[in-house]
Structure 1
Amino acid sequence: MSLTAFASLADLTLSLYPDFSWLSSLVETATGWVGLVIIFAYSFLIAFALPGVSEIVLAAPLDLGLPYSAKLAVIILVSGAGKAAGSVFAFHIGRQTKESGYVERALERLPVDVMGWTERKAVQIAQNWGFAGLAAALCVPGFPDTLSIYAFSVLEDDYLKFAAATFVGSCGRLVVTVIGIEAALAFL
Structure 2
Amino acid sequence: MTLDALVSLADLTLGVFPDFSWLSSLVETATGWVGLAIIFVYSFLIAFALPGVSEIVLAAPLDLGLSRGARLALIILVSGAGKSAGSVFAFHIGRETKESGYFERFLARLPVDVMGWSERKAVEIAQNWGFAGLAAALCVPGFPDTLSIYAFAVLEDDYLKFAAATFVGSCGRLIVTLVGIEAIAAVI
Q: TM-score range by the shorter chain?
A: over 0.9
Contact 2:136 2:169 in 1 (8 A): yes
Q: What is the number of residues matched between the two proteins? A: 188
SS of 2:11 mapped into structure 1: helix
Rounded to whole Å, the distance in 2 between the matches of 1:12 and 1:111 is 32
Contact 2:91 2:149 in 1 (8 A): yes
CA RMSD between the two structures: 1.4
Q: Which amino acid aligns with 1:20?
A: F
Output aligned runs, 1:32-181, within 5 Å.
Answer: 32-181=32-181
Fraction of identical pairs, as percent:
85
TM-score of the pair, normalised by structure 1: 0.96
User: Shift in Å at residue 132 of structure 1?
Assistant: 0.2
SS of 2:155 mapped into structure 1: coil
- Listed as ranges, the gaps of 5+ residues in structure 2 are none
Q: Which amino acid aligns with 2:21?
A: S
Q: Which amino acid aligns with 2:78?
A: V
Contact 2:131 2:162 in 1 (8 A): yes
Rounded to whole Å, the distance in 1 between the matches of 2:43 and 2:158 is 21
Rounded to whole Å, the distance in 2 between the matches of 1:14 and 1:118 is 26
Q: Which amino acid aligns with 1:95?
A: R
Runs of 4+ residues deviating >6 angstroms: none
Q: Which digits, 9 at most, give the CA deviation of each residue in 1:45-83, with x for residues without a partner?
A: 011111112001011010010000000000000000000
Contact 2:13 2:51 in 1 (8 A): no
User: Shift in Å at residue 3 of structure 1?
Assistant: 4.1
- Listed as ranges, the gaps of 5+ residues in structure 1 are none
- Using a 3 Å threshold, how does the CA distance of structure 1 residues 2 and 103 change in structure 2: closer, same or farther? closer
Q: Which digits, 9 at most, give the CA deviation of each residue in 1:95-154, with x for residues without a partner?
A: 000000000001000000000000000000000000000000000000110110000001
Q: Which amino acid aligns with 2:142?
A: G
TM-score of the pair, normalised by structure 2: 0.96
Rounded to whole Å, the distance in 2 between the matches of 1:23 and 1:147 is 21
Contact 2:3 2:181 in 1 (8 A): no
User: Shift in Å at residue 12 of structure 1?
Assistant: 3.6
Q: Which digits, 9 at most, give the CA deviation of each residue in 1:10-32, with x for residues without a partner?
A: 33434444331101111111000
Contact 2:11 2:24 in 1 (8 A): no
Contact 2:9 2:53 in 1 (8 A): no
Rounded to whole Å, the distance in 1 between the matches of 2:175 and 2:66 is 18
Contact 1:17 1:51 in 2 (8 A): yes
